[in-house]
Homo-oligomer: A and B are copies of this chain.
């Protein structure tokens, strides 16, 4: 029962929180264990997201390949860890995953996970929202790790731009951003002075016009190109991933 070997589950089980039904359900969930060899890829970025795995033996990791040829590792997975719930709520993988050394994993389908949430698509929605937040966090981590200040800031502004656009708070490529440069610095891990420098840089390149809280991106697409913005993680119409599942489970 691989899922039971998960740290949290083991805790729940010890406390008697898992009902007999729960345990029966877990057994039902179980697919075949899969033996993996070192460096074997579990899935690639943009691949179909339809399952997650419990790592039984060996180490794995998830990572994003970057435009400059390097990669940013998001997380190492040790035995007992669950790999791949990150993408629950998305149709495609946001990051690749691979093994480091030989190991054994137990795959579970999202479909099964979905059934687990029972009748409430509300619960699914909450879960999806949480995963979407995590996606934003991961993306920021990637930029913190490997990109230069002007790329980070461009990425940050573009993200805000997209998120505001979703809720109709962008007009004529302009929006209100009630942040001081100090706050932005605290978010991007850079000194306020350098935030200012970097804003000046972007201004000179005609990418960002800013007057206090008023921000205008004259050419959002240019910004997006600069940072190779992968908007699937923010713009994807999440629930579509569920509508299929909903159809499958009447």
| A74 interface residue per 8 A CB criterion | yes
Whether the Cβ atoms of B22 and A120 lie closer than 8 Å is yes
Whether the Cβ atoms of B239 and A17 lie closer than 8 Å is yes
Among A121-129, A193-201, A202-210, A217-225, the one that faces the other chain is: A121-129
Complex Cα–Cα for A215 and B243 (A): 48
| A226 interface residue per 8 A CB criterion | no
Which residues of chain A from 111 to 145 have a CB within 8 Å of any chain B CB? 113, 116-134, 136-138, 140-141, 144-145
Whether the Cβ atoms of B141 and A76 lie closer than 8 Å is no
Given A123-B118, A129-B85, A242-B17, A59 contacting B145 (CB threshold 8 A): no
Complex Cα–Cα for A242 and B137 (A): 25
Complex Cα–Cα for A238 and B82 (A): 15
Residues of B with C-beta under 8 A to A101 = 178
Whether the Cβ atoms of B12 and A121 lie closer than 8 Å is yes
Chain A 1-40 interface 0/1 with B at a Cβ cutoff of 8 Å (1 = within): 0000011110110110111011001100000000000000
Given A59-B178, A72-B189, A11 contacting B167 (CB threshold 8 A): no
Complex Cα–Cα for A134 and B133 (A): 9
Whether the Cβ atoms of A76 and B179 lie closer than 8 Å is yes
Given A137-B138, A138-B137, A146-B189, A122 contacting B116 (CB threshold 8 A): yes
Residues of B with C-beta under 8 A to A169 = 78-79
Given A8-B238, A17-B239, A126 contacting B113 (CB threshold 8 A): yes
Minimum CB distance partner of A63 in chain B: B186
Given A76-B179, A121-B22, A186-B71, A85 contacting B17 (CB threshold 8 A): no
Chain A 26-67 interface 0/1 with B at a Cβ cutoff of 8 Å (1 = within): 100000000000000000000000000000000101010000
**Given A19-B121, A75-B133, A76-B187, 8 other A-B contacts at CB below 8 A?**
A7-B129, A9-B122, A11-B238, A17-B246, A116-B122, A137-B137, A144-B144, A144-B189
Report, nearest first, the 10 A-B pairs whose CB atoms are least far apart: A145-B189, A11-B239, A73-B187, A144-B144, A73-B186, A101-B178, A8-B129, A17-B121, A118-B118, A8-B125
Return 16 A-B CB contacts under 8 Å, by A number: A8-B132, A9-B125, A11-B238, A22-B121, A22-B122, A25-B122, A74-B137, A75-B136, A82-B129, A85-B126, A85-B129, A100-B183, A117-B123, A123-B123, A140-B141, A141-B141
